[in-house]
Amino acid sequence: MKWYAYFAWKQLFPTGRKLSFFSAMSIFGVALGVTVLFVVQSVMDGFQHNIRRAIVETQGDVRVESQDVECQGLIHGTDNLVSFLMNFPDVAAVAKYAYGITMLKCGGRTAFPMVKGIDVENEPKVVDLLKFVKHGSLEGLDCGGIALSSDLAVKIGAAVGSRVEIYSPLMVENSIDGDVILPKTLEVTMIFETGHHNTGRNTVFIAIDTLQDFYNIGDGIHGIALKVKPGVPTEKVAFALNQSLRYPLVAASWQEMNRDFLFALRMEKTMMFFVLVFILLISAFSIAGSMLISVIRKTREIGLISAIGGTVIGCSMCFFLQGAIIGIIGSTIGIIFATTVLCFRNVIVYSFAKLCGVEDFMLRFYSFANMPARYGVGDIFSTMAFAITLCCLAAVVPAIKVARINAAEALRSE
Amino acid sequence: MSNFVAELRDVHKSFGNTVVFCDVNFAIAERDTVSICGDSGSGKTTLINVLGLLEPPTSGRVIWESCEVTYTKMSRVARLRSKIFGYIFQQCNLIPELNVVENLMLPKRIAGEAGEADVDFVRQLLRQTQLTKFENRAVSTLSGGERQKVAAIRAMVNRPRVIVADEPTGNLDEKSANLVMDAIVGLCNSCGSALLLITHNKRFAEKMQTSYVLTNMRLRRME
Ligand SMILES: Nc1ncnc2c1ncn2[C@@H]1O[C@H](COP(=O)(O)OP(=O)(O)OP(=O)(O)O)[C@@H](O)[C@H]1O
Ligand SMILES: [Mg+2]
């Protein structure tokens, strides 16, 4: 070991004492900064990942929709289009859909959900609908059943087997003409839960034929959802489709459809990073400050080391290495802290919530039942490297100050 | 060929307009014992700093082991210095973060050649100065005299050709001053180093083979 590395180590961890106060504080500061930075970035990443997954799982990879406003975005006579899409390169599955707003009634309780008519056979091939089934099964939809989100089921007090009345906006239009259309009664055959309240919380599913019938739109659909073969970029397929589709048909990947939202998510993470970096910056500044004081306190020792054969550059290196050591130890402890916190994050969050009496807040405000977190080895190394670099930079100033010390003057200093 | 370990020829030193000394010719030979006396502020410390090139002379030549080193690169000077000079200061400058043995091994570590043999050598010197029991003590728990003895051993660890002691007993009472002085002389004899002693104490100065006085910017030899 080079003498200055040894000396740097001993300055931080003097013989006989466990830890110097300066190193304890500095290491703790860096560790704290790294912990907060890493935990927050991992949780942000987790949210981002979950939201993206929730979008893909509930919307499909690519959607083909019509931009024609005149016929309310409806596409008619879709057999050719469906077979064209089926045979399109890199497309794994297709499913038609149509949707509308409806009023739902069960007992005396009502709700105004979005009703989506799905192709019962093909929909599960495009989105992971089966994954979300909580009670009942999807097949029931074909025999005039309806699938409710669990939130909605709770809200109107329905369960599998309950009968719900569904009202179409057409009823209002027709009643003006004097006709009376009675509401349709459907049996709840499935209850699903996506775990993400924006996607699917206020949605009900019925078979597409039922919906077409109910809304009197003939064979009209609102669009076709596509599943892309694994590993193929969805944007690429959407682009290729747009080359061959003619107006008013337009293909959009899920990234494109949610571009603003995804951008906001990324932006949020970046902003959080910038805010939290200040914790690390502050600890770097305090390290620089303490080290400058220690340079002044140790001027005589620096002179002495020159007198016993050390170079001033070596002394300067010694201070630089102190910064590096603080960075390495601090960031390692920080990562250990952070991974522990992340490991017990749900316990921590729930005990905290319990303490404040807001146990369901996670689901209410953050859309997910559990707090997500996501990190990899790369994240660990980049966070550590970042913290260590900051500490080294902090040590550069004291190191430069040492390099300018004159040995003879240092020996004279009080 | 002279057998001088370190030499100053026609050395002049000034800080800005203040002349500290001029026309200094001085040499110390192997196993020599030399004392330099002089009033406070006469430039004794400056003289040894120039001799060890901790400070450059304003003019004149510094010669170590018959080689001129006045304008040699600092890193080379640092290496040579640790072979030729061992320093003892008035304030003994032990490193508080290290214990006694670690302090004593520091010059070897800096030279990059610390080994088992050196630890044995350090132990032997500690025994010679009756400091064995302090081996693993923190330096802050030692008395002034003990510290100065440890500093003396540290100066000896690299087996330098000259021990330069700048008022090593300045902070001590008569009794511990004698003990420390005995230890320094004993160590120099056993290791074959020359001793360059700067002191205000006439008695110690008289014990040296050669004595100099620094007055009126000149170095004069006392007969
Ligand atoms: N860097 C400097 N700049 C200006 N003057 C200096 C500097 N270093 C030393 N001097 C001056 O040089 C003179 C000699 O100082 P030096 O320390 O060598 O004296 P000394 O003989 O060792 O004194 P003492 O016995 O008190 O230790 C003093 O007048 C001091 O003020
Ligand atoms: Mg002096």
Give per-residue pLDDT as tens, A59-68: 888 988 888 8
Average pLDDT, chain B: 90
Q: Determine the pLDDT at residue A338.
A: 95
| Per-residue model confidence as pLDDT tens digits over A339-363 | 999 999 888 888 887 888 776 665 5
Residue A22: pLDDT band (50, 70, 90) is confident
B141 C-alpha to ligand 2 centroid (Å): 26
Residue A156: pLDDT band (50, 70, 90) is confident
**Which of B24, B46, B50 to mutate to test ligand 1, by most ligand atoms within 8 A of the CB atom?**
B46
Residue A367 pLDDT > 80: no
Chain B residues in contact with A309 (beta carbon < 8 A): 78-79, 81-83, 107, 110-111, 158
Q: How far apart are alpha carbons A134 and A193 in whole angstroms? A: 6
Residue A309: pLDDT band (50, 70, 90) is confident
Average pLDDT, chain A: 86
| Per-residue model confidence as pLDDT tens digits over A73-132 | 888 888 888 888 888 888 889 999 988 888 888 888 888 888 888 888 888 888 887 888
CB-closest option in A308, A313, A406 to B107: A308
Contact A309 B79 (CB under 8 A): yes
Residue B195 pLDDT > 90: yes
- Per the model's pLDDT, the better-predicted residue between A372 and B7 turns out to be B7
Contact A2 B112 (CB under 8 A): yes
Task: Give chain B's contact residues with A (Cβ, < 8 Å).
Answer: 45-46, 49, 52, 54-55, 74-75, 78-79, 81-83, 85-87, 89, 91, 93, 95-99, 102, 106-107, 109-112, 138, 154, 158
Q: How far apart are alpha carbons B48 and A102 in whole angstroms? A: 99
Residue A383 pLDDT > 90: yes
Q: Which amino acid is at B88?
A: I
**Is residue B188 a contact partner of residue B33, using CB atoms and an 8 Å limit?**
yes
A5 at the B interface (CB within 8 A)? no
Mean per-residue pLDDT for A193-202?
Answer: 67
Mean per-residue pLDDT for A309-330?
Answer: 91
In this structure, which residues have their CB less than 5 angstroms from ion ligand 2? Answer: B 45
Q: Determine the pLDDT at residue B115.
A: 86
**Is residue B9 a contact partner of residue B31, using CB atoms and an 8 Å limit?**
no
Q: Determine the pLDDT at residue B87.
A: 92
B198 C-alpha to ligand 2 centroid (Å): 8
**Is residue B20 a contact partner of residue B136, using CB atoms and an 8 Å limit?**
no
The overall pTM is greater than 0.90: no
Q: Which of B54, B88, B103 is the best substitution to test chain A (most A C-beta atoms within 10 A)?
A: B54
Q: Determine the pLDDT at residue A21.
A: 86
**Is residue B161 a contact partner of residue B194, using CB atoms and an 8 Å limit?**
yes
Output the residue whose Cα is nearest ligand 1's atom 10: B15
Q: Which helix (H) or strand (E) holds B120?
A: helix B116-128
Which of the 8 DSSP states describes residue A310? -
Chain B residues in contact with A306 (beta carbon < 8 A): 54, 78
> Lowest-confidence range among A245-254, A337-346, B181-190?
A245-254
Q: Determine the pLDDT at residue A142.
A: 82
What residues does B13 pair with on adjacent strands?
A: B21
C-beta B136 within 6 A of ligand 1:
no
**Is residue A34 a contact partner of residue A383, using CB atoms and an 8 Å limit?**
yes
CB-closest option in A10, A303, A309 to B110: A309
State ipTM: 0.88
What percentage of chain A has pLDDT greater than the value 90? 21
Q: How far apart are alpha carbons A244 and A140 in whole angstroms? A: 37
Residue A368: pLDDT band (50, 70, 90) is low
Contact B98 A307 (CB under 8 A): no
